[in-house]
Amino acid sequence: MAEKTARNSDGGPHPTPERDARVILSNEPGSFAWGVLANRHPALIEQVRDAFPYGPRQHEALDALLEQNNNGVIEPLAPSESDHEQWSVWGREFFGRSWFDAPFLWSESYFYRRLLSAVGYFGTGPWQGVDPFAPFKRAELRGTAVDEELRALDALADVPADERATALLHASVWGNRADLGFRVTEGDVTPGAAADDLVADDSAQLWQLLPAGTGVTVAVVADNAGRELIPDLILIDHLLLHRHAERIVLHVKPYPYYVSDATTADVVDCLRRLAEAPGEAGRIGSRLWDAMATGRLEVRAHPFFCAPLPYEEMPEDLRAEFAAATLTILKGDLNYRRLVGDRMWAETTPFADRTAYFPGAVAALRTLKSDVIVGLEQKTLEALERSGATWRTSGTHALIQVRGETGRSR
C-alpha cells in the first residue's frame, strides 16, 4: 500500500506551526490516515468475519459497517446500547458525516466500538464477551517468535543490572512494533529486523526518575498484548525486583480495541505464558504472579482508555491516579497520539510543552506508526527527511521521550 505522510491543507511538505496545527482527518487520499480507513478497516472486517463461525445477524451487521465505513455516514449507536448516551455526546458533531471527514482519532475509536457491536460483544446473546481479535492474539502468543524471545532472557540473567535495564527498556519500546493492527496491512513486522533507530532517547532521564530502592509507584499504560505486553511485563518485573518501583499499576483496555490492545484477559494469558516457560522467563512469570497476589502489581481497566479523546480531557479520577505516580509510562503509538494530541504539530515542538498538562512525570515509549511527532532536534529531523524513508509511519523508528515533574526546556 502506498501510504505517504499527510501534508498541510496547502499541500506544503511540512506540518504547520504549533499555533495552528491542524487536526488529522482521513479525507486526504494517499495520506496515512486515509489508508487506515480505506484499506485497514475493510481488511480487518474480513479477517474478523473469517475467524469465527458467525451467524447471519453478525454477517449482516459486518456488511453494514463495511458499507458505512467505505461509502456511508457515521451513525449513532442503537439506543439499546448501554453507552449510547456517552457516544451521543462524543459523536454529536460527527454523526451524519462521512467517516473520512471526522478526526482520525475519533473515527478509528468509534470504528472499533461499532465492530464490537456488530459481532454481539456487548449483546445479551451467546457472543457476549467473545473477543473478535482473540484468535490473532492467541496465534501470536503461541508462536515460535515468543519462544525465542523468552529463551533470550537466559543470556540476560547474569549481565550487570544497568545493562539488563537498558536491554529490557529497548525490548519494551521495540515490542510496540509487533502490533497486529499494523500487520493487517503492513505484513509481518519483526521487532529488531529493521533499522533500530531511536529518533529521541531520554532514557537517562527515565532512570533518574526511578532510582533503585525508593519505594515509589509507577503507572504503566499498556498498548498491545502478546509480543508487546510480554516485554512490558518483563520490564515491570525488573522495576519491581530492583526496587525502582515498590508498586506498579498496569492500565489496560476495558474491552477489545485496535485489534491487539491488551485487556485483563490478555494480561492473564501473557502471565501464564511466562510462568509456564522454562528458565529465566518462568522465574519472571512466577515473580509477577506473586506480585499480583501481594498487590505490588495491580491491573486496572478504566473506561477512558477506550474513549476517542486526548489525554488532555481525562477524567478527574484518572488524573488523580497519574498524579499520585512518580512516573507514568505510556506505551505505543495510539497512546502517543492521545498524549500530545492527534495533530500535525511542527516536529520540533517541545515534548515538555505538549505534555505540560499531564499530571506528574510522563514517559512515552513508542515506535513511529502514524504522522504525529513532536520533540525532535532540528538536526535529527533534517537527517530523517534526507533519508527519504517513510520514517513517520513504517515502524522502523522509535522514541523514548520523558518529561519530568517540572518540565524540560527542549
Q: Quick one: which segment of 19-27, 122-130, 238-246, 329-337 binds ligand F1X (CB under 6 A)?
A: 329-337
Shortest distance (Å) from residue 333 CB to ligand F1X: 3
Q: Kindly indicate which of the ranges 127-135, 203-211, 333-341, 346-354 contains the residues binding ligand F1X, using the contact rule CB under 6 A.
A: 333-341
Cβ neighbours, 10 Å, residue 65: 21
The footprint of ligand F1X on residues 359-378 (CB under 6 A) is 369-370
d(CA 94, CA 277): 48
Stretch that binds ligand F1X, among 21-29, 177-185, 292-300, 373-381 (CB under 6 A): 177-185
Stretch that binds ligand F1X, among 16-24, 150-158, 174-182, 384-392 (CB under 6 A): 174-182
Residue 168 interacts with ligand F1X (CB under 6 A): yes or no: no
Q: DSSP E strands: which ranges in 238-310?
A: 247-251, 297-300
Lookup: cell for 120? 454481539
**Which of 106, 172, 111, 124 lies closest to 341, judged by CA?**
106
Q: Which pairing describes strands 362-367 and 397-403: parallel, antiparallel, or unpaired?
A: antiparallel
The one-letter amino acid code at 142 reads: R
What are the backbone angles phi and psi of residue 303, rounded to the nearest 5°? -60, -25
- State yes or no: residue 334 binds ligand F1X (CB under 6 A): yes
Q: What angle do CA 25, 27, 29 make, to 5 degrees?
A: 125
Tell the smallest beta-carbon distance from residue 65 to ligand F1X (Å).
Answer: 16
* Closest alpha carbon to 178 in 1, 371, 332, 364: 332
- The answer to whether 258 contacts ligand F1X (rule: CB under 6 A) is yes
Which residue from 120, 181, 285, 375 is in contact with ligand F1X, where contact means CB under 6 A? Answer: 181
* Residue 369 · residue 179 · CB < 8 Å: yes
Q: Are 316 and 367 in contact (CB under 8 A)?
A: no
Q: Which of 140, 223, 232, 269 binds ligand F1X (CB under 6 A)?
A: 223
- Piece in contact with ligand F1X (CB under 6 A), picked from 64-72, 165-173, 176-184, 321-329: 176-184
Q: Which is nearer to ligand F1X, 35 or 360 (CB)?
A: 35
Min dist. Cβ of residue 260 to ligand F1X (A): 7
Q: Applying CB under 6 A, which residues contact ligand F1X? A: 36, 40, 108, 176, 179, 181-182, 223-224, 258, 332-334, 337, 369-370
